[in-house]
Chain A
């Protein structure tokens, strides 16, 4: 949609993803899309809308509910010269197909000594906040980023969503593209206005493995990804009201992880809070803090903090889930406790 007042072309992440795929399918016959309800329905989260009308059911194929079969088929197709984009509807469904993902997709390049590339994109939805309970609300960023052989990205806005998707489809390695449901701009999942940004129509890429400082500050570094970035930005507004200047780093990618941007920011601010909607232990938040401490602990003026999801399955009842989720107030409180 074009905002005539600002001359901006503001897209939702869902539309930005679909546009990236559409343009790449126009440019590259090797690209095709597979997944559940990605055809006529356009994806449960809207990110393949319109594709089947333009490219037909051969290149935009609805699959049976057989994640193991179609994800491992994508591996076979990728190794045979195609560039499949496959959707795992909810990341929580990894439980029925992780062998295809981490034993095949992630390892065949290595097992072949680099002789077989597996150029595919596995896109999958993450995140809760809408009372879908513990099998449809997880993030599992750490789970995927922990295992070698897969690049992992997670956009926080439509600009990055389009550029990362294009970069992922052009990458010769498998890329796990994790999109947060709350940022899709679907309405029925709530709308995060901050994710709907100016998105050029002309194709472009956003570099995988490069974090971005999305707000400059000098007193504390807030590191997040996807929804965490928006929570951090809102917390930064609140802190600013109290005279605290917070810098916000959007990780954009988890693998490769851009530690340098985080280290540079912490070198400047001396304080670090990691915001992560994934479970607290053994995850992204621990990795970021460990990276900073390993590099130069003397840069820290205070012990780092993390605002994360507690180590419990995600409850259904709205008040209980909201109690567990990270939010701007928790980030502000974490800063005050430093």
Chain B
């Protein structure tokens, strides 16, 4: 399944949008945190998990989704949220803990919920696998269209929740796609030190469903395999497991000294940064001109500027909002 020119440009724009957004977040995150780094200080407190480098997975998959399809994302969710169409202003404001944020500051960057595009997050490893099955089951029971994609990291493939959900999805033939972003590191532990098999796609066999491994962090290859899996799910043929080789250009979280990385690894990863690579490919393939891509990049930068400005300008919610929304209002 090959992306059309429009799909390619959509993927590129969303990759750039995610990268520009995270570049801004990265800078602002350090405000108030120097010279002494205290996670609680500055306009963006708390943990910050950046996804730069992993953008191809989010766009390659989400290019096939519409708002009615569901995504459960991970603790590293920005690229997935952006590709799924979560409102960037409300998301930025949530990261700033503002009243205009997706949940008025109650969730933060690991707990982004946007029901208008069926996007949910979870801060605990493999936690989204079960809910994705539930959304898929709900569609089946209601006779409504839509598939559910559960994103997870390669470390999450060793969680019981992942395996239980794979069995459930296969058993009930649910329209779910499990997408593992293999960025090679679970915080500081290498995949080879944590996982009994080199590639998690083989684990699909244990549940009688198709499994695929995609090398090279290649957005077109991801688009191809994800497209087939999603079409299969839409046709009622059940779940698929996909693992994608990708790269985490940043640390696990901001403040991570990354001393566990072998010498030279980061430099090598930056040399394979998927965004310049895709830019060159779009031009080489005649899908876009330098000018087209400059325009896309400028538009992305502008969208990010607006979102950040909106977040900065927004007011904090009253402290007493902490005491509300524990239960649904009937």
Binding site for B on A (CB under 8 A): 32, 58-59, 61, 63-64, 66, 68-82, 84, 96, 99-100, 103-104, 108-119, 148-149, 151, 171-173
Contacts and interface: CB of A to CB of B under 8 A. Distances in A.
Q: How large is the interface on B (under 10, 10 to 19, 20 to 34, 35 or more residues)?
A: 35 or more
B330 interface: yes
B107 A112 contact: yes
Contacts of A100: 127, 130, 161
A18 B204 CA distance: 38
B161 A68 contact: yes
Interface in B109-128: 111, 113, 115, 118, 120, 122-124, 127
Contact of B141 (A58, A66, A103, A171): A58
A172 B141 contact: no
A63 B174 CA distance: 14
B167 interface: yes
B135 interface: yes
A110 B325 contact: yes
| Interface SS of chain B | mixed
Contact of B167 (A61, A66, A74): A66
Contacts of B118: 80
A80 B139 contact: yes
A59 B141 CA distance: 8
Contact of A113 (B107, B122, B160, B164): B107
A134 to B, nearest CB: 23
A203 to B, nearest CB: 18
A109 B133 CA distance: 19
B135 A80 contact: yes
Contacts of A75: 130-131, 134
24 contacts: A32-B141, A59-B141, A64-B164, A68-B164, A69-B165, A72-B165, A76-B132, A76-B135, A77-B135, A77-B141, A81-B138, A96-B160, A99-B124, A103-B124, A104-B130, A110-B326, A111-B103, A111-B106, A111-B111, A111-B113, A112-B102, A112-B120, A114-B329, A116-B115
B73 interface: no
A64 B138 contact: no
B72 A76 contact: yes
Nearest to A107: B111
Contacts of A84: 134
